[in-house]
Amino acid sequence: MSWIKNFFLYLSENQMLNKGARRWGLKLGAQSVVAGTNIPEMIESIKKLNQHGISCTIDNLGEFVFEKEEATQAKEEILRVIEAIHEHEVDAHISLKPTQLGLDIDYDFCLANLKEIMEKAKSYDIFVNMDMEDYDHLQPSFDLLDELSKEYDNIGTVIQAYFFESVDNIQKYKDYRLRIVKGAYKESETVAYQDKADIDANFLKLIEYHLLNGKFTSIATHDHHVIDYVKKFVKENNISNDKFEFQMLYGFRKDLQIELANEGYKFCTYVPFGEDWYGYFMRRLAERPQNLSLVTKQVFNK
Ligand code: FAD
């Protein structure tokens, strides 16, 4: 199966296809895992999730940004999203990627964009999560976080269990609200576990650490084995439901999302929207080749 995973990860990094896909509209089944191409469509999707007691984290899709103009447009769109959260009074916060805001162009330019977003989010008391990307961007992203934390307390980030150094990072950032994930990118064996069993074991170790010592833990996974383990762990350790939440991606395991919310757990759905859906969708195919059924349904049910 690993060749399929590598194939889709390779496609996810293809910039030509990425640019082309913006002109296709939502295709290949992406519409079931992307909550629309614009803010009004996305807000409608969020209102439906909120009705189930599910909060949301909104991702304005975008990657491979190497032009200042494009990064500025992305920043403007995120500012509009913050305004829309406030105006429609939806239960939602922001997820963003530093590369979309210019990290590959110029560190200070990216920092300035992030500060503008943080300022606006803070004025409405909206939390901002900095998503973590591939290893090349890991340290620069933590540097941005350190810098922003001097002025803002409404920011958190992601710890990826496949990195060896995540054990150190979770301790260093224990006073932050953290999302813990397995990790979605193709990484070298010099920096990351390659074996699923090793990644899973580290994932549980990081979750346990942050639940016991950290501020607030977002456990982001579709893996019911992990979810069942966490349910047992919090019960045994008297960790109250307001100290953590489960997170899943929009369109995945919808019944389980609602079930967990109905059981009284905090639940947050990651809601991606926008025209730049290609890389995001390819990474989802890489993670779970069964997601290919989304593509085949789309191709054959015309
Ligand atoms: P997997 O390891 O993919 O699956 C484990 C098992 O769970 C499967 O064998 C199957 O039994 C079950 N399962 C999984 N999916 C399904 C399904 N759809 N239906 C039925 N059973 C299923 N990665 C990053 O690198 N950076 C980020 O910032 C980031 N943010 C994320 C935010 C959220 C909310 C989520 C959910 C993921 C995020 N990821 C991020 C991706 C993450 O790193 C993983 O790549 C992704 O979640 C796949 O791993 P998994 O834990 O969901 O389970």
Binding residues for substrate, as ranges, are 97, 283-284
Q: Is 176 helix (H, G, I), strand (E, B) or coil?
A: coil
- Specify if 256 maps to a domain: yes
Q: Could you give the number of structural domains in the chain?
A: 1
ipTM over 0.85: yes
Distant-in-sequence contacts of 228-231, Cβ < 8 A, 24+ apart = 229/204, 231/265
pLDDT the model gives residue 23: 61
Torsion region of 274: left, alpha or beta (phi above 0 gives left; psi -120 to 50 gives alpha): left
Q: Which residues form the catalytic set?
A: 131, 179
CATH number of the domain bearing residue 191 = 3.20.20.220
Distance spanning both ends of the chain, measured CA to CA: 29
- Specify if 62 maps to a domain: yes
Question: What range defines the domain where residue 207 resides?
Answer: 35-276
- Specify if 151 maps to a domain: yes
- Specify if 238 maps to a domain: yes
For ligand 1, what atom is nearest to the CA of residue 57? 34
Cβ–ligand 1 contact at 220 (below 6 Å): yes
Q: Return per-residue pLDDT of the chain as tens, 302 residues.
A: 577 677 777 767 777 666 666 666 556 667 788 998 899 999 999 999 999 999 999 999 987 788 999 999 999 999 999 999 999 999 999 999 999 999 999 999 999 999 999 999 999 999 999 999 999 999 999 999 999 999 999 999 999 999 999 999 999 999 999 999 999 888 999 999 999 999 999 999 999 999 999 999 999 999 999 999 999 999 999 999 999 999 999 999 999 999 999 999 999 999 999 988 877 877 777 776 666 555 555 444 43
- Specify if 201 maps to a domain: yes
- Specify if 29 maps to a domain: no
Among 159, 166, 181, 187, the mutation site with the greatest number of ligand 1 atoms within 8 A of its Cβ is 181
pLDDT the model gives residue 26: 59
Structure tokens at 58: 């909104």
pLDDT the model gives residue 299: 45
CA 252 – ligand 1 centroid, Å: 9
pLDDT the model gives residue 302: 39
For ligand 1, what atom is nearest to the CA of residue 203? 51
- Specify if 299 maps to a domain: no
